């Protein structure tokens, strides 16, 4: 390859020194960008109640919870807390004012993955605490719950808050995934808080971290140290409802920004795909289990195919059911989708687009989709149990003892042999082992990966897209060989090529195409899938040229109809988690911070700060404290049942999902003409022209009003 340097200014060492010494070069490369400075200066609007200086907690007994007996047993002091509404107190008693303004030390900690808006929770707490009493201190525990256990913290100052206001990430105090789950860790956390004189600890985290908050609140109840949670996670799976389905918190914070960021990037890929018309872009998007993010991306960007895990789990193969019924049996494998079937559904969509000349497109795959594919879910659950049991009974971990895949497989083989000898041992049998050995090594490695401290499967690290697309590629190859996967050739283009080759398109049309003459995109006959079969077809019809060959114009039309399936894979996750928050998330989180302070100043503990009516728009927002313990239920974790906060997955009957389903055909766009892609634009803080809340919330609310 020959290259040349464009002539232009050059700099020697002395010149470079001078250049670096100029003020302008500092300005040009400064980390302080004007739009960022504006961002830092923005003070989000606050709910009306926060304009008054004092707030009381008003128990709201309209909300009811079905409490798990285990939660009652383990969390006796916080299980019966009511939902608290936060109300302005315009005539507070002296005693109340004294209590409100009493000097406090408030601890804050991030827990779990970053989510845009976290800094504003701290800013809200800090601003409210300062307003109540400038002597109040806020200290931030470093690197997540480890900071509480290890007594690592820093004092939050006005300068720090102002630097991080409305900014993405959790950089101010960092985060971590440690769980305060043993007596020893609880005790160390208690000591840290006690020694620092912390009155209240706010845990800004996901479902597992809020679970942790409840246990810590119980542990510190007697001590009088309050513990509160704040619903954070881009996954959008913390949604709080009472037993009657009343929505108390429609969405965790960070979801909107992450989804908007993914949607913007994916929409750019839609633009690229439809310009270059040669790639299918395969986009895996985060969301450990639930497909909320994928659903919002579908609404925001209209990619051609969006898989929703919960929808796949719901799939019923009617043809199998009917076939079984005819034989008087029941086919249980007809419920839920298999990987193979899923790959067929994707192939069908690809083939249909190709038929109208679109051998390109965009597919969105939620990272947690495998959780909803029965055959894989069984492996995940079984392996969770095997790894957890191993780690509980050995001083070393499974991964330390079996570092290589082959060692791990050998251990599983031993378990399978054991199941033959000991009928009570059922967790891994020879059938499991055989099926497991049938899957590709990279996927086996993925399924065997180390679980996090909460026992969660690391979906983000498994190449889900590779697993699914591997099957898709194989099947497309088969379909191509069968003559089914073809690119439709635009009729006008066909006619032009034939005219240039001095051939009559009307003569060759019926010989070559199965949909001649009326279609806008002509599909080569199934029987023509190679130059050999093309030659045979033309020969049969006496349509070869004088030398007995395929006329060059026909050959070029044939080549146009032959697809190459080319993909580019992308993973959207960490980028969206680090995005600067949308106006919605900035406002939501700042108000969550103010809510947390009101709860603290009113002595609440074991509750989560939430904002009700997010889905109804800012004018209707209502800050609440919701007890965490009644939201807990028993779930299998690390091979045993544990009390945890329930994750909310996509409801396939929800208006948002039903809308996506209704638009599926339109967005697949297996018809001639442009694709109806939607570009939601970049995230900007002024919110100009941007939706005021996640589309999922807006549509669900609209749907609920129509009932």
Residues recognised as catalytic: 235
Looking at residue 257, what DSSP letter applies? H
Nearer to ligand FBP, 206 or 623 (CB): 206
CB of 655 to ligand FBP, least distance (A): 24
Nearer to ligand FBP, 199 or 367 (CB): 367
- What sections of 448-519 are H helices per DSSP? 464-481, 491-500, 505-512
Tokens of 383: 């392996």
Residue 577 interacts with ligand FBP (CB under 6 A)?
A: yes
Residues of this chain, 89-118, that bind ligand FBP according to CB under 6 A: 112-113, 115
CB contact at 8 A, 300 and 260: yes
Residue 235 interacts with ligand FBP (CB under 6 A)?
A: yes
Nearer to ligand FBP, 280 or 459 (CB): 459
CB of 120 to ligand FBP, least distance (A): 16
Provide CB contacts within 8 A for 333, sequence distance 6+: 320
How far apart, in Å, are the Cα atoms of 389 and each of 379, 383, 395, 643?
15, 10, 12, 18
Nearer to ligand FBP, 86 or 238 (CB): 238
CA–CA separation, 537 and 547 (whole Å): 16
Give the orientation angle of helix 207-219 with respect to helix 183-195, to 10 degrees: 70
User: How many residues are there in the chain?
Assistant: 707
Closest CA to 230 of 83, 130, 136, 108: 108
CA–CA separation, 410 and 416 (whole Å): 10
Greatest alpha-carbon span in the chain: 107
30 phi, psi to nearest 5 deg: -65, 150
Interacting stretch for ligand FBP, rule CB under 6 A, among 76-84, 118-126, 280-288, 388-396?
A: 280-288
Residues of this chain, 354-373, that bind ligand FBP according to CB under 6 A: 367
CB of 424 to ligand FBP, least distance (A): 35
CB of 388 to ligand FBP, least distance (A): 18
- # residues contacting ligand FBP (CB under 6 A): 14
Looking at residue 224, what DSSP letter applies? T
CB of 515 to ligand FBP, least distance (A): 45
Residue 459 interacts with ligand FBP (CB under 6 A)?
A: yes
- The label of the residue with tokens 């086919």 reads 331
Residues of this chain, 460-479, that bind ligand FBP according to CB under 6 A: 460
Interface map 665-694 toward ligand FBP (x if CB under 6 A): ------------------------------
CA–CA separation, 528 and 486 (whole Å): 10
CB contact at 8 A, 365 and 373: no
CB of 234 to ligand FBP, least distance (A): 5
Residue 288 interacts with ligand FBP (CB under 6 A)?
A: yes
User: Looking at beta carbons, which residue is closest to ligand FBP?
Assistant: 112
Residue 655 interacts with ligand FBP (CB under 6 A)?
A: no
Residue 451 interacts with ligand FBP (CB under 6 A)?
A: no
Residue 234 interacts with ligand FBP (CB under 6 A)?
A: yes
Nearer to ligand FBP, 286 or 529 (CB): 286
CB contact at 8 A, 308 and 657: yes
CB of 526 to ligand FBP, least distance (A): 43
Which run of H or E residues covers position 325?
Answer: helix 318-326
Nearer to ligand FBP, 460 or 536 (CB): 460
Which run of H or E residues covers position 200?
Answer: strand 200-205
Give the orientation angle of helix 655-668 with respect to helix 292-301, to 10 degrees: 50
Nearer to ligand FBP, 46 or 178 (CB): 178
Residue 572 interacts with ligand FBP (CB under 6 A)?
A: no
Q: Could you list the residues that contact ligand FBP (CB under 6 A)? A: 112-113, 115, 206, 233-235, 286-288, 367, 459-460, 577
């Amino acid at each position: 390859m020959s290259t040349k340097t464009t002539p232009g200014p050059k700099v020697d060492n002395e010149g470079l020194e001078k250049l670096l010494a100029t003020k302008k070069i500092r300005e040009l490369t400064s980390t302080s960008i004007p739009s960022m400075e504006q961002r830092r200066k923005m003070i989000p609007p606050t709910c009306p109640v926060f304009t008054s200086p004092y707030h009381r907690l008003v128990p709201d007994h309209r909300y009811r919870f079905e409490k798990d007996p285990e939660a009652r047993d383990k969390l006796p002091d916080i299980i019966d807390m009511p939902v608290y509404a936060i109300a302005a107190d315009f005539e507070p008693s002296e005693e109340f004012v004294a209590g409100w303004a009493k000097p406090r030390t408030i601890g804050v900690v991030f827990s779990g993955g970053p989510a845009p808006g976290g800094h504003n929770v701290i800013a809200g707490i800090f601003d409210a605490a300062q307003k109540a009493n400038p002597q109040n201190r806020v200290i931030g525990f470093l690197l997540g719950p480890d900071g509480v256990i290890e007594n690592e913290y820093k004092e939050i100052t006005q300068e720090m808050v102002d630097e991080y206001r409305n900014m993405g990430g959790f950089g101010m105090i960092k985060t971590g995934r440690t769980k305060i789950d043993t007596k020893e860790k609880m005790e160390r956390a208690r000591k840290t808080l006690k020694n620092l004189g912390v009155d209240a600890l706010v845990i800004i985290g996901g479902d597992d971290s809020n679970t942790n908050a409840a246990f810590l609140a119980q542990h510190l109840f007697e001590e009088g140290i309050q513990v509160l949670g704040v619903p954070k996670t881009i996954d959008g799976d913390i949604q709080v409802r009472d037993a009657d389905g009343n929505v108390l918190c429609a969405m965790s914070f960070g979801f909107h920004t992450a989804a908007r960021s993914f949607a913007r990037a994916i929409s750019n890929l839609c633009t690229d795909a439809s310009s270059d018309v040669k790639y299918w872009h395969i986009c895996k998007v985060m969301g450990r289990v639930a497909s909320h993010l994928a659903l919002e991306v579908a609404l925001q960007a209209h990619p051609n195919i969006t898989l929703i895990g919960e929808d796949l789990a719901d799939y019923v193969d009617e043809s199998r059911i009917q076939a079984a019924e005819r034989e008087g049996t029941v086919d249980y494998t007809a419920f839920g989708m298999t990987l193979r079937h899923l790959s067929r559904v994707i192939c069908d969509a690809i083939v249909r687009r190709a038929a109208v000349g679109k051998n390109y497109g965009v597919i969105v795959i939620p990272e947690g989709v495998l959780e909803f594919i029965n055959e894989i879910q069984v492996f995940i659950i079984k392996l969770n149990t095997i790894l957890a049991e191993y780690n509980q009974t050995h001083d070393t971990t499974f991964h330390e003892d079996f570092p290589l895949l082959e060692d791990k497989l050998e251990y599983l083989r031993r378990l399978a042999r054991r199941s033959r000898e000991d009928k009570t041992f059922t967790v891994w049998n020879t059938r499991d082992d055989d099926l497991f050995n049938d899957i590709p090594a990279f996927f086996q490695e993925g399924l065997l990966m180390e679980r996090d401290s909460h026992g969660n499967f690391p979906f983000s690290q498994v190449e889900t897209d590779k697993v699914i697309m591997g099957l898709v590629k194989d099947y497309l190859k088969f379909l191509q060989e069968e003559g089914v996967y073809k690119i439709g050739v635009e009729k006008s283009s066909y006619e032009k090529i034939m005219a240039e080759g001095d051939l009559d398109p009307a003569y060759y049309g019926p010989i070559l195409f199965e949909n001649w003459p009326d279609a806008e995109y002509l599909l080569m006959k199934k029987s023509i899938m190679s130059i050999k079969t093309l030659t045979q077809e033309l020969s049969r019809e006496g349509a070869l040229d004088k030398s007995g060959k395929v006329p060059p114009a026909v050959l070029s039309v044939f080549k146009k109809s032959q697809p190459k399936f080319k993909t580019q894979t992308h993973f959207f996750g960490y980028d969206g988690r680090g995005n600067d928050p949308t106006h919605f998330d900035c406002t939501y989180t700042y108000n969550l911070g103010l809510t947390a302070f009101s709860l603290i100043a009113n002595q609440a503990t074991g509750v989560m700060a939430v904002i009700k009516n997010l889905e109804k728009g800012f004018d209707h927002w209502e800050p609440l404290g919701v007890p965490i313990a009644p939201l807990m239920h028993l779930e299998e974790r690390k091979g045993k049942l544990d009390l945890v906060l329930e994750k909310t997955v996509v409801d396939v009957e929800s208006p948002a999902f039903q809308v996506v389903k209704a638009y599926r055909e339109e967005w697949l766009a297996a018809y001639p003409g442009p694709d109806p892609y939607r570009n939601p634009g970049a995230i900007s803080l002024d919110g100009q022209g941007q939706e005021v809340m996640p589309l999922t919330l807006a549509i669900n609310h609209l749907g609920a009003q129509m009932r």
